[in-house]
Amino acid sequence: MLDLAAQHAALQPALGEAISVVLREAEFINGPAVAAFAQELSAALGGPHVIPCANGTDALQLALMSLNLPPNAEIILPAFTYVATAEAAAVLGLRPMFVDVLPTTFCLDPVAVEAAITPRTGAVLAVHLFGQCADMEALMQLSTRRGIPLIEDNAQAIGAMYRFTDGAQAAAGTIGEVGTTSFFPAKNLGAFGDGGAVFTNDAARAAFLRQLANHGQTRKYHHQHIGLNSRLDTLQAALLRVKLPHLPAWTAARQRIADHYDAALGGISGLRIPYRDPQSSHVFHQYTLTLENAPSAMSCKNICASGACRAWCIIRCRCTCSPPMPTLAHGPGSFRCLRTCAAPCCHCPSTRC
């Protein structure tokens, strides 16, 4: 789906130099590149505090830990997502509460979120799936009105911009109480191994998150909180610093390719091209087609193999049906839109077609 070898070949001299510096300095944990990358990423996203960490799953766990929720607090999240979103809540003894997504954006349905709120709700966790923001206007209004913190899982939409109806704009991941991202190699900004980050606009929460990501230390060997060992390696930070300035151009290329797919596939009956929400830019982590009335993934594969593009067919993780979440089993028909979105989805390559 993403030709990383070609991407890296173009950056080879700068990547090689970045590796040499890290080897020479030998500060492999929390070396200077980590703080420098955090600062540069913050500048690129409009100035939030950036707390680098080991991966996007830890970023979600840290975000939830920073809210100090009571055991068994309910975390409302979309039924259509990558498993890590629910896993991060479950591993902390919190209860993932799955709600339906919108058939247009594949992201949380704010009406379903409101209906799922109970006195035990601890947070709402929105996922900007495939590269486009959830309905942040409605979700932020809900969060403020009900006093429930909103977390953004921005593993798939780094660089996307959201525009509110009053004209204010903000980068995906920087709008809610806490945002998270992943630098998994295949992400739009990918490292050379695992990596992640947490975002917040609140200085006190940022300080707490930094401690949580480093064994709960307030300073060396002073462990005030139960934390994690979740640090972005210096080497990954150094390499990400080389890639970060290219993110806008890579995003623009993804958008051009998506336009090309739209033009080629837009008129095909039974095939729905990605919806473009006027309030969010789309960074096309995945260009996702939906087969209307498709009975199975196989027919999706066949349609794609037959023509306009090389595509990869995938049945997305439907966490609600996963064995590790048995206590949360939902009955058939619980998620009307999930059924229509998840089964017949296929994704096209975002860097070449």
Ligand X SMILES: Cc1ncc(COP(=O)(O)O)c(C=O)c1O
Binding site for ligand X (CB under 6 A): 55-57, 81-82, 84-85, 127, 153, 155-156, 182, 184, 194, 196
Nearer residue to ligand X within complex by CB, 57 or 121 = 57
Contacts of 28 (CB under 8 A, 6+ apart): 22, 233, 234, 235
Nearest-approach distance from CB 59 to ligand X, in angstroms: 7
Angle between helices 32-44 and 234-243 (to 10 degrees): 40
Nearest-approach distance from CB 158 to ligand X, in angstroms: 11
- Distance from C-alpha of 136 to C-alpha of 110, rounded to nearest angstrom: 9
Nearer residue to ligand X within complex by CB, 41 or 127 = 127
Residue 227 · residue 214 · CB < 8 Å: yes
Nearest-approach distance from CB 256 to ligand X, in angstroms: 23
Nearest-approach distance from CB 333 to ligand X, in angstroms: 25
What one-character DSSP code corresponds to residue 57?
H
Nearer residue to ligand X within complex by CB, 45 or 232 = 232
Nearest-approach distance from CB 24 to ligand X, in angstroms: 28
- Distance from C-alpha of 208 to C-alpha of 214, rounded to nearest angstrom: 10
291: part of which helix (H) or strand (E)?
Answer: strand 287-291
Nearer residue to ligand X within complex by CB, 94 or 294 = 94
Nearer residue to ligand X within complex by CB, 159 or 265 = 159
Nearest-approach distance from CB 55 to ligand X, in angstroms: 4
261: part of which helix (H) or strand (E)?
Answer: helix 247-265
Nearest-approach distance from CB 44 to ligand X, in angstroms: 19
Q: Which residue is nearest to ligand X (CB)?
A: 56
Sheet strands (E) in 216-315: 217-219, 222-223, 271-272, 287-291, 312-313
CA end-to-end span of the chain, whole Å?
A: 9
- Distance from C-alpha of 327 to C-alpha of 334, rounded to nearest angstrom: 15
Taken in order 280, 281, 286, 288, is the CA torsion positive or negative?
positive
> Residues 312, 186, 346, CA angle at the centre, nearest 5°?
20
Nearer residue to ligand X within complex by CB, 180 or 255 = 180
> What are the b/e assignments for 104-134, b being 16+ CB within 10 Å?
bbbbbbbebbbebbeeebbbbbbbbbbbbbb
Nearer residue to ligand X within complex by CB, 85 or 288 = 85
Q: 234 by DSSP, 3-state: which?
A: helix
Nearest-approach distance from CB 338 to ligand X, in angstroms: 15
Nearest-approach distance from CB 113 to ligand X, in angstroms: 17
- Distance from C-alpha of 200 to C-alpha of 7, rounded to nearest angstrom: 30
Nearer residue to ligand X within complex by CB, 129 or 294 = 129
- Distance from C-alpha of 178 to C-alpha of 193, rounded to nearest angstrom: 24
Nearer residue to ligand X within complex by CB, 187 or 303 = 187
